[in-house]
Structure 1
Amino acid sequence: MKRGISVLLSLCVVVTAAYFTASKWAIRHETIMFKDPTRDERPVAVDVAVRFDKEMQADAGMIKLPVAILNHGNTVKFTEYSFLANVFAARGYLTISIQNDLPSDGPMVTKVGEIYVGRLPQYQRGITNIKFAIEEMKKRLPNADYSKLTMVGHSNGGDIAMYFAKQYPDEIKKVVTLDNLRVPFMTDGRFKILSFRSHDSQFKPDPGVVPDAEECEKAGITVVNTNFQHNDMRDTGPEKAKDSIQAMLDKFLADTDSDVAAVDTRNAPPKILEPGPVSLYVPVEKRQTFTDKVKKSLSLTKTETKKDPSITN
């Protein structure tokens, strides 16, 4: 029986992986550079991921896009979490990944005895970046719900996400963290929390960060204990880890977002080419079809991505 369940779970992960690989054709990614005049023109880069059809409906004033803010781990680039951004985008979210750290900021250090072991300045800077990026994105994509945010983050970025939720709970829809280590979870049940935990002796959460099972049950917190390493939870991680996280994250969104459904592009073009709530789109010139793109993708030779140095927290 246990073997049958394991096979079923494996099949679910395979199907989910195939879905997200295909669905990327319906998702637009764009990197934008903003400069904050209140901080000596500090550059704040963001990577935007959004479903084509949902963006068109939002531009037409028909819907408001839910918003997810994605925060990277220490020393990791904001563009290295596309496997997460694509899950949210496929579910209809406007996903905004923000570069919180700059080389000029200096290294992050641990100060035993201080609150959050001395990381509070990084969290406060992250909040300032998030607030600034949101105001800039309102000018570019105004038809999104910036009043209720889904905060997401890996490692130090997960701590930024949780700290933001503590400071602005009325602006939070839900929180998703991947192995945050310093900022304790909120346990008042005001919003759902999903947290993936690594099995890594080098990265252990501080005492009191992760509530016990009974408290999680009362507060609506889902803790997923994995066998993955801390640094596996980004684009350079193994496919098995990313596929598993994608599958669980998609299920969490399906259970908590009753009004937002994922697009299925495995056997059909993106929805923007179909009649429905959005007017039928007729291209003025010949464009690559979804099938052509898939064939081209399958014909490309895969190359291994070299792993970056481990991140520290």
Structure 2
Amino acid sequence: MQTKEFDFFDAARNRPVPVIVYFPNNSPNNTPTVIYNHGYTDPEQFTKIDEGTQKLPHKNHTYLAKFFTKKGYAFICTQHDLRSDVDGLGTIDPKSATVVTRKHLWERGVLNLLFVIEELKKQNLDLNLDRFIIGGHSNGGDIAKYFANHNPHLISHLIICDGRRCPISPCVNLRILMFEANDTSTDIGVIPDQGTEENLKRMNLEWVVVKPLNALHVGYSDDGPKELHDKVTKTIDWFLENFF
């Protein structure tokens, strides 16, 4: 596995957008690509990062990067949250609907990704950025779902590790693998209900939900145990082999 880091800057939004790309050792032409999104980064985490006791979240999913690059994929991670952000989760009303209070985080994530895709196309890396797998952990999983809701033509598969807030639009045609955890719960409405005979809300969705035994929310990052990581990668392998 090889890596390349980029410090992109979106002048239109006056925003740095750090990116790391993991490549297979022998990259094929038009390399198939995974875009993966980290969970929310709070001020306490940034303090630990400054102290050197924690990695930036976009560099904390290397077990997935190793898995995908061995299968011939490039694996792209963008750092969505910045130390300078003043509109994080600590500023929202916990009593309000999460689809409203967190929406700005998802929208910013989508803008980051669209910007990164265009910047990576300029780098002549021979990546397939016209149709790719998108995924993420926690709030990053919600960013992935929000992106897929609005750009389904770009997405082949959606892989979510305990992204529990953003609903999936029932109107899109997607193949979805969703991991849950034992210490959290998915919000009502995230998985569309069946609808009615006249309005089948899941008609275009292929959806697999998995809750591994003893899986904790934090465990889907590099901070989790190898046992869980092995279950995740084996399940992803099965999913990609059988849903295409």
Displacement of 1:31 in angstroms is: 2.1
Task: Please name the residue that 1:194 is paired with.
Answer: 177
Task: Report the aligned-residue RMSD.
Answer: 2.2
User: Kindly, what percent of the aligned residue pairs are identical?
Assistant: 33
**Is the alpha carbon distance of 1:32 and 1:225 closer, same or farther for their aligned partners in structure 2, counting shifts above 3 Å?**
same
CA deviation string 1:191-213 (max 9, x = no partner) = 2100001011xx22211113469
Task: Please name the residue that 2:35 is paired with.
Answer: 69
1:113 to 96, 107, 118: 96
Q: 4+ residue runs of structure 1 moved beyond 4 angstroms?
A: 211-218
Task: Please name the residue that 1:13 is paired with.
Answer: none
Q: Find the residue that maps to 1:174 and give its secondary structure.
A: strand
Q: Find the residue that maps to 2:117 and give its secondary structure.
A: helix
> How far apart, in 2, do the equivalents of 1:186 and 1:245 lie?
25
- The structure, 1 or 2, with the larger RCO (C-alpha pairs under 8 Å, 6+ apart) is 1
Give the structure with the higher percent helix.
Answer: 1
Letter in 2 for 1:100: H
Task: Please name the residue that 2:230 is paired with.
Answer: 243
Answering whether residue 190 of structure 2 is matched by residue 209 of structure 1, we say: yes
Answering whether residue 133 of structure 2 is matched by residue 161 of structure 1, we say: no
Aligned length: 221
Displacement of 1:115 in angstroms is: 5.6
Q: TM-score, normalised by structure 1?
A: 0.65
- CA radius of gyration, larger in: 1
Letter in 2 for 1:166: N
**Is the alpha carbon distance of 1:189 and 1:133 closer, same or farther for their aligned partners in structure 2, counting shifts above 3 Å?**
closer
Task: Please name the residue that 2:51 is paired with.
Answer: none
CA deviation string 1:111-136 (max 9, x = no partner) = 33346140011111101110111111
Task: Please name the residue that 2:49 is paired with.
Answer: none
Q: TM-score, normalised by structure 2?
A: 0.83
Letter in 2 for 1:135: E
Letter in 1 for 2:231: S
> How far apart, in 1, do the equivalents of 2:84 and 2:133 lie?
29
CA contact (8 A) 2:173 2:204 kept: no
Task: Please name the residue that 1:44 is paired with.
Answer: 17
**Contiguous gaps of at least 5 residues in structure 2:** 42-55, 196-200
CA contact (8 A) 1:87 1:249 kept: no
Letter in 1 for 2:174: F
Task: Please name the residue that 1:265 is paired with.
Answer: none
**Is the alpha carbon distance of 1:90 and 1:141 closer, same or farther for their aligned partners in structure 2, counting shifts above 3 Å?**
farther
Worse-superposed segment, 121-130 or 111-120? 111-120
> How far apart, in 1, do the equivalents of 2:126 and 2:3 lie?
18
**Contiguous gaps of at least 5 residues in structure 1:** 1-26, 59-63, 258-313
CA contact (8 A) 2:180 2:212 kept: yes
